[in-house]
Structure 1
Amino acid sequence: MRHPHDLPNHLMSGPFTVAQARSAGLSRRRTRAADLVSPCHGVRAAAKADDGLLERVRALTIATGAVVSHISAAVLWGFPLPLAVERRNAVHLTTQPGRRVVRRKDVVGHQQVLAPEDITVGRRVACTSPLRTWLDLAGILSTDELVVAGDFLVRRRNPLTTLGELDAYLDGKQGRPGYRRAMRARALVRANTDSPKETELRLLLLCHGLPEPAINVPIFDQDGRWLQDPDLSYEDEKVAIQYDGGHHATPAQRRSDIFRDENARDAGWRVVVLTQWDLTPIEPGMEPSAVVRVRAALRDRGWSPAPAGRRGRGRRVVPTM
């Protein structure tokens, strides 16, 4: 069997259009050889190439000149998305006004004005910037889901932007699709989170009338020695909240967590450890145990809800002995 001859070097690094192949001197028969695949109409790539989202959107942008946007851009940036949204197979592509909306199988085409700062040109693909992607998600996600995505933007480690930059970006976006929901979500976005579950838990506590906790604020003993950075905390009541995800189940991590929490308790803190089970009500209409347990811890430390019709952190009372 005769093997196809090697591709030119500049066509071996990734997807290329049929027009580019012909300009490089490849015959029609060569572009249909078994060592090539067609990730989308008019585009070829090496059969051994990665068939993931990045290669797929790269092929589509080469063929259309569009920019990856909305859910597809969010996945590339790593935004936490609901599984039902993340698993959608369609690729979202945006073209500027004056150009045709992309209409292909498994593609959702958009046409909207993208300013230069709205586009991030990477080594392999051009997609909407983190800020523009978050604004576009406002037309797709619920307010709470958008807050989770917003917290991801300004997370503690490797943030994609700052709250100041987010506010500056939203200035002047009045009237844009999703703007009102984006502003509602922005009021609840907080910096320095470590995981989407921290945000989910914080929103859950607020939804049930509890005061807003601090996020990853370090606590120290009376000698000034660092004890831990609880996921959420109430300094006045000295209540620390830790959300333990799946990685906390390993023996080594469990020992570390026990040591961490014992030191905090020795320093006078009440530590509430929660898991996914605590976030979901046992039965419809019941309060999640996370709310019940945190409320009990706060009340034990002298907090009580503010009178009806008043906002705030509630009032402190002297606990009965």
Structure 2
Amino acid sequence: MHQPSELPPQLRHRPFTVAEAHAAGLSRRRTRARDLVKPCHGVRAAVATKDSLPERLRALAAVTGAVVSHLSAAVLWGFPLPLALEYLAVVHLTSAPGRRAVRYKNVVGHQQSLEPDEIVAGVRVRCTSPLRTWFDLAGILSLDDLVIAGDFLLRRRSPLTTVDALDAFLAGKQGRAGYRCALRARALMRANTDSPKETELRLILIRHGLPEPGIIVPIFDETGRWIQDPDLSYEREKIAIQYDGGHHAGPSQRRGDIYRDENARDAGWRVVVLTQRDLDPFAPGMELTAVTGVRAALTERGWTPEPRRSPRRTAPTPPT
């Protein structure tokens, strides 16, 4: 059986367009050989090329010239997304006004204007910037999920933007589709968070009428020695809230957590440790144990909820 000729070096480890193949001297018959696959119409790749989302995006971008955007860009940037959306097979691509939106199987084509600083050229593809990607998610995600994605932008370690840059960006989007949703999310976003679960927990507590906790506020003992930076806390009531994810289950991590919390308690702090089970409802209609536990700790430390205001009554309009 005739073996296909070897591909030129520049085409061996990446998707390439048929036009690129012809420019490299490959015949039409060579582009149809059995050692090549078709990621999409007009694109070829060696069978050994890794089948992954970045490679699919690279193939589609190569043939369309479009910019990776929306959920696909969010995955590339590492945004925390609901599981139902994170592993979708569809790809989002944005074309400039005047160019036809991309139409391919499992592709959602968008047509919208992007500013030069809203496009980032990577090694493999061009995609929307972190700020533009987050703004585009306003039309897709729920409010809480948009806040979680926004906190990721402003996270404590390796943030993707700053608060000032975010506010300046939003100021330039007034009147655009998604602006109102983005503005609502912005009011709930906070900088310097460490994980999506901390944001989720903070939103749950606020929604259930509890005061907003501080984020990563350091605790010191009477001598000024640092004890810990709890995930969330109430300084006045001296309550520290720790969300322990799966990585806290290991013996070494667990010993460190116990030592951490004992030191805080010795300094007069009440420590509330929560896990995913505390964020999931035990049964329909039941209050989350995270809310019950934090409320009990606050009440124990003297906190009382503000009385609900009765709705203002207006005098009836006299008949004319």
Q: Into which bin does the TM-score normalised by the smaller protein fall?
A: over 0.9
CA distance in 2, matches of 1:167, 1:180: 13
- Residue in 1 aligned with 2:121? 121
TM-aligned CA deviation for residue 299 of structure 1: 1.0
TM-aligned CA deviation for residue 9 of structure 1: 2.1
TM-aligned CA deviation for residue 49 of structure 1: 1.1
Q: SS at 1:256's partner residue? A: helix
Q: What pairs up with 1:231-310 in 2 under 5 angstroms?
A: 231-309=231-309
Q: Deviations over 1:241-297 (max 9, x none)?
A: 000011111111111110110000001100000001111221212210100110110
Letter of the 2:99 partner, please give it.
R
Letter of the 1:219 partner, please give it.
I
Letter of the 1:301 partner, please give it.
R
- Residue in 2 aligned with 1:84? 84
TM-aligned CA deviation for residue 10 of structure 1: 2.1
Letter of the 1:98 partner, please give it.
G
TM-aligned CA deviation for residue 159 of structure 1: 0.6
TM-aligned CA deviation for residue 100 of structure 1: 0.7
Q: What pairs up with 1:1-321 in 2 under 5 angstroms?
A: 1-309=1-309
Q: Deviations over 1:55-101 (max 9, x none)?
A: 00000000100000000000010000001111221100000001011
Q: Deviations over 1:164-193 (max 9, x none)?
A: 111010012112111100000000000111
CA distance in 2, matches of 1:50, 1:230: 41
CA distance in 2, matches of 1:133, 1:119: 10
Gaps of 5+ in 1: 311-321
**Which has the higher mean CA deviation after the structures are superposed, 1-10 or 188-197?**
1-10
Letter of the 2:113 partner, please give it.
V
TM-aligned CA deviation for residue 5 of structure 1: 2.1
CA distance in 1, matches of 2:49, 2:262: 51
The alignment of Structure 1 onto Structure 2 pairs a total of residues equal to 310
Letter of the 1:230 partner, please give it.
P
Is the Cα–Cα contact under 8 Å of residues 13 and 49 in structure 2 kept in the other structure? no
Q: SS at 1:103's partner residue? A: coil
CA distance in 1, matches of 2:233, 2:100: 51
CA distance in 1, matches of 2:212, 2:48: 51
CA distance in 1, matches of 2:235, 2:309: 25
CA distance in 2, matches of 1:218, 1:30: 64
CA distance in 1, matches of 2:266, 2:32: 71
* Runs of 4+ with deviation above 4 angstroms: none
TM-score, structure 1 as length reference: 0.95
Letter of the 2:213 partner, please give it.
P
Letter of the 2:272 partner, please give it.
V
TM-aligned CA deviation for residue 3 of structure 1: 2.6
**Which has the higher mean CA deviation after the structures are superposed, 170-179 or 194-203?**
170-179
TM-score, structure 2 as length reference: 0.95
Among all aligned residue pairs of Structure 1 and Structure 2, give the percentage whose two residues are the same amino acid: 72
**Which has the higher mean CA deviation after the structures are superposed, 276-285 or 199-208?**
276-285
Q: SS at 2:81's partner residue? A: coil
CA distance in 2, matches of 1:82, 1:269: 34
TM-aligned CA deviation for residue 4 of structure 1: 2.0
**Which has the higher mean CA deviation after the structures are superposed, 196-205 or 274-283?**
274-283
Q: Deviations over 1:143-170 (max 9, x none)?
A: 1110000000000111100111110100
Q: SS at 1:217's partner residue? A: coil
Letter of the 1:245 partner, please give it.
G
**Which has the higher mean CA deviation after the structures are superposed, 1-10 or 215-224?**
1-10
CA distance in 2, matches of 1:110, 1:200: 30
